[in-house]
């Protein structure tokens, strides 16, 4: 397929994702029944973000215009090990391999094993030549390169097993927010999206706040309480209750509003139903410290103007552009260099 054909079929897939298809909805329901973290609402949110931000004709052309696309290049087979922390989290890798002209050999996550195979079937219905580009397997073999996403522990395994191949191996990353105390109630409600979307399980979810010394948490706790319905979800509530009990037993200082607990902590990675925070005196010193931790940070949200850090607006952490590559590694260039 030529590049324009690949773009066209993906745009048509985006149109399918925007339609209300009963069969597709049944697949979402099946996924939820096997993995209760993947609520119908969360799956639909991820799918609509893909349709609107990834499978838009203008955005695809804008993204791909940055590269010299070699349609005549001999296709390689790229193994993809998919993560399963949030719905459809590996779709960008699948899309990038397809747009590069290579073939994707996909090892699905057990937590999200129905939606992507269905979308590959839809692509084949839209254009039968797409069948040459996608293969779903139980075990990876015969590939030329690998893109694997997982935890820090699984990354060590990936590096040992796949290190001899051209590879991108991703580890744990976190989203952070930098506040200056001038944020309005509405700003902080938007921040709540970054914290709570997908129950905070994504690498782009905000798990750590940096706030100025003397920061008053009252308005923040009030704004985050807008997401109180989260505790109606049994898995989320179990996490909230567990950490609440641990803090009480161990006499840990914390702030709470009924749906999230805030705790002063250096770590960037807070557990579900928790949000860590840390105070800062000087934003320039903070920037330097965060630059030293860049290998742990996936996205920064803030309304502040920062000199050396790239940020997204509050509420937009889970809406990356096509060119916002995970871990800051240009996946497309990696594929074109194979």
E strands of 261-330, at which residues? 261-264, 274-280, 297-302
Residue 173, CA atoms < 13 Å, CB-side half-sphere: 22
| Domain presence at residue 277 | yes
| Domain presence at residue 331 | no
Q: For the chain, how many structural domains are there in total?
A: 2
Is the pLDDT at 117 greater than 70, yes or no?
yes
Average pLDDT over residues 94-121: 97
| Domain presence at residue 191 | yes
First CA to last CA across the chain, in angstroms? 19
Residues 155 and 9 in one domain: yes
pTM score of the predicted model: 0.94
Distance CA 59, CA 53 (A): 7
Distances (CA, A) of 197 to 84, 99, 190, 235, 304: 15, 28, 11, 14, 22
| Domain presence at residue 35 | yes
Residues 47 and 81 in one domain: yes
77 Cβ partners below 8 Å, 6+ apart? 102, 103, 105, 142, 143, 144, 145
Q: How many CB atoms within 10 Å of residue 277?
A: 19
Q: Among 171, 195, 217, give the residue marking a domain's end.
A: 171
Residues 183 and 112 in one domain: no
Residues 153 and 236 in one domain: no
Residues 49 and 148 in one domain: yes
Short-list 126, 112, 135, CA closest to 43: 112
Give me the CATH number covering residue 41: 3.40.605.10
List pLDDT tens digits, range 64-95: 999 987 676 789 999 999 999 999 999 999 99
List pLDDT tens digits, range 181-236: 999 999 999 999 999 999 999 999 999 999 999 999 999 999 999 999 999 999 99
Q: Look up residue 277 and give its DSSP letter.
A: E
Residues 211 and 182 in one domain: yes
Distance CA 294, CA 327 (A): 9
Sheet with strand 77-81: strands edge to edge: 134-136, 103-107, 77-81, 145-149, 167-170
Strand partners, 136: 106
Instruction: Write down the pLDDT at residue 68.
Output: 83
Structural domain of residue 64, as residue ranges? Answer: 3-171
32 Cβ partners below 8 Å, 6+ apart? 38, 39, 40, 43
Distance CA 256, CA 274 (A): 9
| Domain presence at residue 93 | yes
Region of poorest pLDDT, from 64-78, 104-118, 152-166: 64-78
| Domain presence at residue 63 | yes
| Domain presence at residue 279 | yes
Q: Among 111, 140, 171, give the residue marking a domain's end.
A: 171
Residues 31 and 165 in one domain: yes
Q: Among 155, 171, 187, give the residue marking a domain's end.
A: 171
Residues 163 and 274 in one domain: no
Short-list 6, 13, 17, 76, CA closest to 46: 17
Q: Do the beta carbons of residue 262 and residue 256 sit within 8 Å?
A: yes
Mean pLDDT of the chain: 95
SS3 266: coil
């Amino acid at each position: 397929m030529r590049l324009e054909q690949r773009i066209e079929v993906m745009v048509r897939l985006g149109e399918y994702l925007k339609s209300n298809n009963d069969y597709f909805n049944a697949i979402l329901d099946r996924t939820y029944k096997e993995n209760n973290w993947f609520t119908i609402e969360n799956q639909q949110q991820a799918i609509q973000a893909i349709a609107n931000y990834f499978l838009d004709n203008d955005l695809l052309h804008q993204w791909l215009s940055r590269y010299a696309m070699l349609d005549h290049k001999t296709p390689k087979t790229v193994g993809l090990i998919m993560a399963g922390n949030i719905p459809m989290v590996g779709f960008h890798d699948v899309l990038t391999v397809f747009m590069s002209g290579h073939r994707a050999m996909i090892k699905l996550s057990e937590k999200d094993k129905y939606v992507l195979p269905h979308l590959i079937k839809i692509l084949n219905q839209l254009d039968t030549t797409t069948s040459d580009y996608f293969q779903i397997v139980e075990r990876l073999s015969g590939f030329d390169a690998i893109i694997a996403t997982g935890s820090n522990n699984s990354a060590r395994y990936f590096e040992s097993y796949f290190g001899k191949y051209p590879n991108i191996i991703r580890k744990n990353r976190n989203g952070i927010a930098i506040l200056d105390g001038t944020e309005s109630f509405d700003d902080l409600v938007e921040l709540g999206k970054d914290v709570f979307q997908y129950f905070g399980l994504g690498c782009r979810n905000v798990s750590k706040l940096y706030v100025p010394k003397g920061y008053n948490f009252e308005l923040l706790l009030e704004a985050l309480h807008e997401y109180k319905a989260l505790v109606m979800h049994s898995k989320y509530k179990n996490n909230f209750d567990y950490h609440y009990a641990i803090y009480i037993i161990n006499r840990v200082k914390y702030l709470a509003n009924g749906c999230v607990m805030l705790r002063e902590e250096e770590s960037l990675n807070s557990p579900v139903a928790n949000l860590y925070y840390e105070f800062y005196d000087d934003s320039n010193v903070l920037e330097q410290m965060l630059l030293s931790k860049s290998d742990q940070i996936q996205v920064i949200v803030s309304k502040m103007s920062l000199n050396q850090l790239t940020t997204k607006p509050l509420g937009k952490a889970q809406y990356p552009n096509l060119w916002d590559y995970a871990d800051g590694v240009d996946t497309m260039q990696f594929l074109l260099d194979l």
